[in-house]
Amino acid sequence: MSKELTFASFDGTELFANLEIPTDPKALIVIVHGLCEHQGRYDYLAARLAAQGYAVFRFDHRGHGRSKGERVYYSDFNQIVDDTNAAFDRARLEAPSLPAFLIGHSMGGYAAALFGTKYPDKAAGIILSGALTRYNNPLMGPLPFAGDPHAYLPNELGAGVCSDPAVVEAYAADPYVEKSISIGLCNSFAGGLEYLKANPGAFTAPALILHGGLDGLVCELDSREFFGDIASTDKSLRIYAGLMHEVFNEPRKDQVIADVLEWLGARV
């Protein structure tokens, strides 16, 4: 079964979601997408997971894709983690008896890391991909920025997302990929990253941390440091030599997805 739906987040903001539930699912996966993109860019990953018996719930962040809210804007880092918590709770309504995992990419990995820190023990496990958990590559410059938080900067992330030119071209042409980023959203990263760095002992969930060795957007050192700092006793780190930022879209994506499926299979 596949369906589209909307749900209210913690403050009433309407968020768009997509749900796939195979026959007799064995676990639930909530996918959390990255900055300026949307849940539809995870069609391939969702299909692969569903084919192996996983229910998949994907949602668009507020201000992204088909969700409501000021475009590509957060006033505070708690908004993204509390939206993720609301999505997780909404997903659980569809499959309340199943173990529930998160897969978060890039800013979605940042959100998933915050979720695991602020809401420990809710997820059966958390998978991070190219997650912004430190700031070893100061891509946006020193944070926070001065200026109007409602002012916007151009989205210049496209060239760094993937080594496959077709993926880069599709990203640029995608009408649901946002073309600008608010200063408020950028500044919200500063508080969230400080929170993650100050509270690694609160993150105790089983964790699989993935990163492309050639990631030009988020430094793989972020994942190495986060892996070393968190309190999880069940944790694995995989740095993929030669892969760029979007490991689920790289030419070797099936290898990465196979690693995810193996990890999940050992925990359901």
Catalytic residue numbers read 106, 215, 245
Q: What letters, b where the CB count within 10 A reaches 16 and e where it falls short, cover 10-39?
A: eeebebbbbbbbbeebebbbbbbbbbbbbb
| CA–CA distance, 172 with 55 (Å, rounded to integer) | 29
- Decide: residue 202, CB within 10 A, 0-12 exposed, 13-18 middle, 19+ buried: middle
> In 3-state terms, what secondary structure has residue 112?
helix
Q: Integer distance in angstroms from the first to the last C-alpha of the chain?
A: 21
Within 13 Å and on the Cβ side, how many CA atoms surround 111?
A: 30
**φ/ψ of residue 90, rounded to 5:** -65, -40
- Closest-CA residue to 113 (of 104, 101, 124, 123): 104
